[in-house]
Amino acid sequence: MDSAPVRAAEFFAGIGLVRTALERVKGAQIQVVWANDIKQAKYDAYAANFPDAEDHFVVRDIRRIEASDLPTGIELATSSFPCIDLSLAGNRRGLVGEQSGMFWEFAKIVEGMSPRPSVILLENVHGFATSHGGKDLEAALASLSKLDYSLDVLAIDARHFVPQSRPRMFIVGIQQDKLPSQALHDVPPVSDVRPAWVRAIHETHRQTLDMHYIDLPALPEGPRDLDGFVETDVAGDLWWDEGRVEAFVRSLSDVQKARFEALLAGNTISYRTAYRRTRQGVSVWELRKDGIAGCLRTTGGGSSKQALVRLGRGSKAVRWMTPREYANLMGAHEYKLLAGTPNQQLFGFGDAVVVDVIEWIGNKYLLPVLRPAGTE
């Protein structure tokens, strides 16, 4: 039995939410010993939360990193490579894009590592599966298969853990000689972590690539409202003035306005989130019909920021969501907001992973593979 902590490397580490999650895995059995990102502002946020950052965090373009730069004995490598070229909201250039094409740099480094990590975990948007008609995903899977990884694909919406709709896909690669006995090589049944479109990926590629799946438990139900995630004691000047709130209301469609008025007349205080959209060339606000937040985004402009709407007992109030609320919705309630401007903080969280999702994958999948004797 190997009782030593799993040594992990975090590529595209951002503000460190993968590390936050991995350190919560049972018995603190996973330890991040190397991390990288290109942005100094993200390092600053990471360092404010992890005092040992200067010992292992490399602020450098991944294209200037060699396999030899990493410490030895890496068993787990994680990669949340940029999604902008894969996202349906992005430019859809795919893996030839300047940002999402960084996947190939990650794969090149892994290829050069000796020994290679026993397990790799990749995270990205669902658009990765359909980019260039599925050819981008096929190419990525093929490149990892050539490095002797058997591959599994998962899809998890963070709403099972936090009140935020944030669907993401994950690729788990396991070196062939590390595949556990519970790994199965036929087409997986449809489940909450492998919906029909993920099952189709397995079915399409299992004859030509090394594919497997491992049975996983059902995902938890998840919260249905924002209670415990919103700040109730923010400064009064953060709430919009009456004129701005009225402009917000005027922009709502008839359906949206009816939803707004019903909540306004309610006997309890309710919170909803809203995004600004452009409909037929006109900027309008749209209010979510459920009690959870929309997918938090990187703050590249006003339309990407999410507003919080408080309604009930005849009272209405609107403001932008705060960095603390973004942190909470990413499962990082205890994350210290000590570095960067509020906009940089919003950007960092919008560009990150949900802690609870990675922790769940770590406990239910990664640790049983990497330390089978030490898990329940």
pLDDT tens-digit profile of 222-245? 999 999 999 999 988 999 999 999
Task: Identify residue 209 by its one-letter amino acid code.
Answer: L
Look up residue 294 and give its two tokens. Answer: 């929309």
Residue type for position 162: V
Report the length, in residues, of the chain.
Answer: 376
pLDDT in tens, 252-280: 999 999 999 999 999 999 999 999 888 87
The average pLDDT across 322-331 equals 97
**pLDDT greater at residue 128 or residue 220:** 220
DSSP class of 211 = B
pLDDT in tens, 149-158: 999 999 999 9
What is the value of pTM for the model shown?
0.93
Pairing mode, strands 167-175 and 315-320: unpaired
Does residue 93 surpass a pLDDT of 80? Answer: no
Task: Please answer whether residues 350 and 13 qualify as being in contact, where contact means their C-beta atoms are separated by less than 8 angstroms.
Answer: no
Residue scoring higher pLDDT (92 or 339): 339
The overall average pLDDT reported for the chain is 91
Enclosing H/E stretch for 17: helix 17-22
Question: Using 50, 70 and 90 to split pLDDT, how confident is the model at 136?
Answer: confident
Decide if 205 contacts 138 (C-beta within 8 A): yes
Domains and CATH numbers, the chain: 6-223+353-374 (3.40.50.150), 236-321 (no CATH)
Tell me the C-alpha to C-alpha distance, in Å, between residue 30 and each of 23, 89, 122, 263, 331. Answer: 6, 34, 17, 45, 18
Average pLDDT over residues 289-297: 93
pLDDT tens digits, residue range 5-58? 999 999 999 999 999 999 999 988 999 999 999 999 999 999 999 999 999 999
CA-based end-to-end distance of the chain: 14
d(CA 129, CA 136): 8
User: 124: part of which helix (H) or strand (E)?
Assistant: strand 119-124
pLDDT of residue 300: 59
Amino acid sitting at position 371: R
- What was the pLDDT predicted at 97? 44
CB 275 within 8 A of CB 306: yes
Q: How confident is the model at residue 299 (pLDDT cuts 50, 70, 90)?
A: low
Separation CA 116–CA 104 (nearest Å): 16
| The predicted structure's pLDDT at residue 98 | 46
| Distance of alpha carbon 157 from alpha carbon 164, whole angstroms | 9
pLDDT tens track for 138-148: 989 999 999 99
Q: For residues 186 and 318, give the distance between their C-alpha atoms in angstroms, rounded to a whole number.
A: 51
pLDDT (average), residues 61-67 = 94
CB 275 within 8 A of CB 285: yes
Please tell me the predicted confidence (pLDDT) of residue 277. 84
Rounded distance between C-alpha atoms, residue 172 and residue 78, angstroms: 9
Residue 40, amino acid: Q
* pLDDT beyond 50 at 301: no
AA letter at 214 = I
Q: Rounded CA gap, 36 and 40, in Å?
A: 10
**Residue 263, number of CB atoms within 10 A of its CB:** 20
Residue 70's nearest CA partner among 13, 148, 21, 2 is 13
Q: Taking each helix axis from N to C terminus, what angle separates 102-112 and 135-145, rounded to the nearest 10 degrees?
A: 10
pLDDT of residue 144: 95
Strand partners, 170: 123, 154
Sheet with 57-59, strands from edge to edge, namely 57-59, 30-37, 6-11, 76-79, 119-124, 167-175, 149-157
